[in-house]
Structures are given as structure tokens and as C-alpha cells.
């Protein structure tokens, strides 16, 4: 496995792979890799002949009071993990490589970024879409892999790729969870043992929502209030609980079509997100 630290290096690697007729998959990450990232890398390795994992803690997607400086950086472990999973190259640029000058060109997806995390984290999605557009132009993958864990991000990136005609496909993979149901996240390591125990209420609330829905509850308000009680009862401070259309991300009052239930909750100073999708033909495993 190679490690490319510069844009020239990764372009060279990808060019050689293409010349050998290989299909190129990209897994964009911010490192501190866990089994959630691992599932994307494995999926890429199944579907592509050449797997690029990018590791870049992107400064432009963090707000001034967010955790950019203390975001976990575990590069040596990440390299070993990628190697074990069969990645072909890690692209790990510095911020100077990615942003050599003050950035004057930004990619913004309208409307889809107004609500949910977009409302709580102004400028976040502008940073995400801009860095993804740069990564897509640098790596030129056939397929890029994202997690359903960041459901709004997946919708926004899909739309960006469609609107700007990037010649590639976006694949969204299911949420990988800890044995007790907590969605894996690089930020879980911020949690104290007591917060970690409380944090499972996110998954439990989503499971409850799924059960309420399966029993016939179609009113978003009722579902939200039940979840609110459970999460607040467990000691979480709710940023948002939203029930929105799966594609447009517009709020839904009565569920009649595929719907995203998305939550963001603070445990101490750590903000975690999670979600599930409600479909009218619900299966037992719908909470992924
Ligand atoms: P991050 O490093 O947090 O920016 O995440 C990189 C990619 O991994 C994103 O597409 C995330 O949605 C995905 N991801 C993070 N956590 C999980 C998880 N628990 N299950 C599946 N995908 C995940």
C-alpha cells in the first residue's frame, strides 16, 4: 500500500491504476478510523480494483468554536487498518496542499443544507462540499463511498455530483454500530464512561420510533415527542430531532413516503448524530 502526501503523488498513483484498466474507488475520511470507515473500505474493495482512502481533517468544515484542534488524529493506526482492509493507497495531504491560498471558490448546495446539521453548524456543508469537490477532481474516482451515518451529507453530496455533472457514482453504505447500538463515530472517544452509557439512548430512541411507526403512528410530532422524552430522560441535551423527506429533507408532518428520522444530541460537550429511515413496508432491520 502506498501513502501519497501530495496532489502530484496521488494523481500519479491513480493515473497508473487507470492505465492498467482499473476501476477506482475513493473513501473520503477524516481519519481516526473505526469499523464504520472499515465497512466503506471493504465495500470499495469489493466493487473496485483500486481503492483510495483519503485522510484529511478538513479545517473549512469546522466552525470557530468546534473541535478542529482536538479532533483525534491516529495516523499510524489508520495506515495499518487500511492496509489490513486491502486499500491500495492513502491520500493524506496537509492543509497547505489542499488550501495553498485563501480559498476564493466554494461549492454550496442550496436548500438541502438549510436544516438539520446545516442549521446548527453554519458553513459546515460549504466546507464539506468544497473539499469533496476538490477530492473528486484530484482523485477522479469512478465511485466514492459515504456512510448513511451522515445522512444529510450523503444527500447533499449526491446532489452536488448530479448538479455539477461529476462523472462518477456515489454509494451510500449502512450505519455500523457498537454491540449496544451506538453508531460508531470518531467522536465517541470524547465521551466519559458515564456519557458513553447515556449515549446509547440515541439508538434506543430511534428503535422506539421505528416500533411506534410499525404500530401505526404516522404523526411526526408524536414520534418526535416520544423520542424527546427518552433522550432527555437519559440525560442528553437535544440539538435537534427532525423527521424529514428522505430526498428533499423537507419536514414531514404525516409519514406517507420514505422518511428520515435524524437526531443530534449533546452528551456533555460532545455532539453525536444518528438516524434511521422509515419506509411504509417496514422490515425488522430498518434501523441500520
Ligand atoms: P468521517 O471520518 O467522520 O468524516 O467519516 C468518513 C465517512 O465514514 C463518512 O462518509 C461517514 O458517513 C462514514 N461513517 C462514519 N461513521 C460511520 C458509521 N458508523 N457507519 C457507516 N459509515 C460511517
All structural domains of the chain = 2-173 (3.40.50.620), 186-280 (3.30.1300.10)
User: Are 157 and 164 in contact, with CB atoms under 8 Å apart?
Assistant: no
Please determine, for residue 95, whether its predicted confidence score (pLDDT) is greater than 60: yes
Rounded to the nearest 10 degrees, the angle between the axes of helix 220-233 and helix 201-214 is: 150
User: Are 43 and 173 in contact, with CB atoms under 8 Å apart?
Assistant: yes
Pairing of strands 259-267, 270-278: antiparallel
Distance 13 CA to ligand 1 centre (A): 24
Percent of the chain with pLDDT over 70: 98
Dihedral sign (CA 75, 34, 148, 195): negative
Across residues 146-162, what is the average pLDDT?
98
Name all residues whose Cβ lies below 6 A of ligand 1.
29-30, 36-37, 39-40, 146-147, 149-150, 173, 175-176, 183-186
pLDDT at 110: 98
Could you say which of 12, 37, 226, 281 is catalytic? 37
By CB atoms closer than 10 A (0-12, 13-18, 19+), residue 240 is: middle
**Span 29-52, pLDDT tens digits:** 999 999 999 999 999 999 999 999
Please determine, for residue 288, whether its predicted confidence score (pLDDT) is greater than 70: no
Task: Report the chain's mean pLDDT, rounded to a whole number.
Answer: 96
pTM above 0.85, yes or no: yes
Q: For ligand 1, what atom is nearest to the CA of residue 184?
A: 19
User: Are 155 and 249 in contact, with CB atoms under 8 Å apart?
Assistant: yes
Of all protein residues, whose CA lies closest to atom 14 belonging to ligand 1? 147
Distance CA(23)–CA(169), nearest Å, equals 12
Q: Which three cell numbers stand for residue 104?
A: 476564493
Mutation test of ligand 1: which of 149, 180, 184, 287 has the most ligand atoms closer than 8 Å to its C-beta? 149
The closest alpha carbon to 163, from 110, 103, 105, belongs to: 110
Across residues 232-242, what is the average pLDDT?
98
Across residues 224-252, what is the average pLDDT?
98
Distance 217 CA to ligand 1 centre (A): 30
User: Are 24 and 141 in contact, with CB atoms under 8 Å apart?
Assistant: yes
Please confirm, yes or no, whether 34 is among the known catalytic residues. no
Distance 185 CA to ligand 1 centre (A): 7
Across residues 49-73, what is the average pLDDT?
97
Please determine, for residue 276, whether its predicted confidence score (pLDDT) is greater than 60: yes
Using DSSP's 3-state secondary structure scheme, residue 263 falls into strand
pLDDT at 282: 53
Higher pLDDT, 286 or 20: 20
Amino acid at each position: 500500500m502506498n501513502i501519497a502526501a501530495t496532489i502530484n503523488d496521488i494523481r500519479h498513483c491513480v493515473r497508473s491504476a487507470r492505465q492498467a484498466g482499473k476501476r477506482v474507488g475513493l473513501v473520503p475520511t477524516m481519519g481516526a478510523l473505526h469499523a464504520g470507515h472499515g465497512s466503506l473500505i471493504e465495500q470499495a474493495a469489493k466493487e473496485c480494483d483500486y481503492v483510495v482512502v483519503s485522510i484529511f481533517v478538513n479545517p473549512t468544515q469546522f466552525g470557530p468554536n468546534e473541535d478542529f484542534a482536538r479532533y483525534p488524529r491516529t495516523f499510524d493506526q489508520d495506515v495499518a487498518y487500511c492496509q489490513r482492509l486491502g486499500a491500495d493507497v492513502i491520500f493524506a495531504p496537509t492543509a497547505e496542499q489542499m488550501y495553498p491560498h485563501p480559498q476564493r471558490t466554494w461549492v454550496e448546495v442550496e436548500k438541502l443544507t438549510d436544516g438539520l446539521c446545516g442549521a446548527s453548524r453554519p458553513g459546515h456543508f460549504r466546507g464539506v462540499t468544497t473539499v469533496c469537490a476538490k477530492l473528486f477532481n484530484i482523485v477522479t474516482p469512478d465511485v466514492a463511498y459515504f456512510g448513511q451515518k451522515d445522512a444529510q451529507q450523503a444527500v447533499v453530496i449526491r446532489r452536488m455530483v448530479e448538479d455539477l455533472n461529476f462523472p462518477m457514482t456515489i454509494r451510500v453504505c449502512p450505519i455500523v454500530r457498537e454491540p449496544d447500538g451506538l453508531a460508531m463515530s470518531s467522536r465517541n472517544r470524547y465521551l466519559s464512561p458515564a456519557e458513553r452509557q447515556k449515549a446509547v439512548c440515541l439508538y434506543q430512541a430511534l428503535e422506539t420510533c421505528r416500533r411506534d411507526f410499525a404500530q401505526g403512528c404516522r404523526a411526526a410530532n408524536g414520534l418526535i415527542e416520544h423520542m424527546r422524552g427518552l433522550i432527555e430522560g437519559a440525560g442528553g441535551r437535544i440539538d435537534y430531532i427532525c423527521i424529514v423527506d428522505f430526498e428533499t429533507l423537507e419536514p414531514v408532518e404525516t409519514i406517507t413516503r420514505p422518511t428520515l428520522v435524524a437526531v443530534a444530541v449533546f452528551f456533555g460537550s460532545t455532539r453525536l448524530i444518528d438516524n434511521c429511515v422509515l419506509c411504509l413496508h417496514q422490515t425488522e432491520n430498518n434501523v441500520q
